Amino acid sequence: MLEYLAIIITAIFVNNIVFAQFLGICPFLGVSSRLTNATGMGIAVTVVMVISTLVTSLLQNYVLVPLQMEYMQTILFILVIAALVQMLEIIMKKVSPALYVALGVFLPLITTNCAVLGVAIMVTQKGMSLTQSVVYAFATAIGFLMALVIFAGIREQLELADVPRPMRGVPIALITAGILAMAFMGFAGIG
Amino acid sequence: MNFFKTIYHSAVLENPTFVLLLGMCPTLGTTSSAINGMSMGLATTGVLICSNAAISGIKNLVPDKVRIPVYIVVIATFVTLLQMLLQAYAPALNDSLGIFIPLIVVNCILLGRAEAFASRHNVASSVADGIGSGLGFTVALTLLGACRELLGSGSIASLSIYPESWGALLFILAPGAFIMLGFLIAIYRYLQAKSTKKRQA
């Protein structure tokens, strides 16, 4: 139990996927101008990340390793993620149209979210067991959701600030993210 | 459009890092030094040229509906090739770039150029676009890496400029990447606005 707690805290705070590992920056900058969008994106990523990590680590352990085809990892994983996202979109449309309206627009973007593929590859590199992988994926996604929500909250305020013209938009957002990353470095001692 | 005009257009006017803001993850993640940034840029450029050429070559054979998955598979194939080449001939580089090598697959620059350029132009101009975008990306990464290395450890490409103890470690660490990139984009925008103003006057 303690081992899982350590994985969760490390993945959310110490090794935050956005601020410490630089993955998922595109949606982090692209979908963070409104708090509602940020929450939707974060939840969609959480769902996709957990399911795709489960499927890819099963494939890695029971297909690629026995066949000694580990070099196919990148191609196989990205195809699985793309197919999964597509499937999730279709299922969501049928089962819960309301949820589809809220989260559907973010789903196609997730295929090229490097955080999803990144986590899938990282858990195989770290040699985590299946449960560990899923817990790690879930915690990482929560870390992403948290980073996105905090950042969106700040950016909504930032729009009101009087910033020099060339710094408007992305540059000031990046500098803000840098200061946030500094705050997250304070967690470094916990791990 | 001729070959060199396409290169200039893709590298400067549509610079992937400073203008289009694509491929931010490797931009921030691999630029702790100038050499690392440049290697990542060159690796991406290699894949980009190959994938642009291949996609432009097969564009008439691929049905419109399945084009994105096909593009992804083409890109993933070249990335896997690159991964194997690096493991065989440059294991040290492979270790220092780590997870960002397989993640070239999901670099938005590759899919973006495939969709926006290679699927509409012939092979030669697609190669030019690959060279241009790749070059723009490489220069941006090298510049960011050099600035971070200089401020953080007082050297550029491991050549010492001033004593390391004067450097601000912050710029080598994660926050420095965000802050430095923010300032570089702002400077690029300022210079671009100035040059368009000059042209209008």
Instruction: Write down the domain spans for chain A.
Output: 2-184
Considering only alpha carbons, which residue of chain A is nearest residue B194?
Answer: A166
Residue A122: name the closest of A140, A110, A106, A109 by CA.
A140
| pLDDT, mean of residues A62-80 | 89
pLDDT higher than threshold 90 for residue A28: no
- pLDDT tens string A35-64: 888 888 888 899 999 999 999 999 999 999
Alpha carbon B162 to its chain centroid, in Å, reads 29
A185 touches chain B (CB under 8 A): yes
Mean pLDDT of the residues in chain B = 89
Residue B172: name the closest of B39, B34, B32 by CA.
B32
Name every chain A residue with its beta carbon within 8 A of the beta carbon of B72: 78-79, 82, 111
DSSP single-letter state for residue B159: E
Name every chain B residue with its beta carbon within 8 A of the beta carbon of A15: none
Let me know the angle formed at the C-alpha of A112 by A78 and A115, rounded to the nearest 5 degrees: 85
A23 touches chain B (CB under 8 A): yes
Are B141 and B31 contacting, i.e. CB atoms less than 8 angstroms apart?
Answer: yes
Q: What pLDDT is recorded for position B46?
A: 95
Are A28 and A41 contacting, i.e. CB atoms less than 8 angstroms apart?
Answer: no
Domain boundaries, chain B: 3-200
Q: Give me the residue label for tokens 């430095």.
A: B180
pLDDT higher than threshold 70 for residue A183: yes
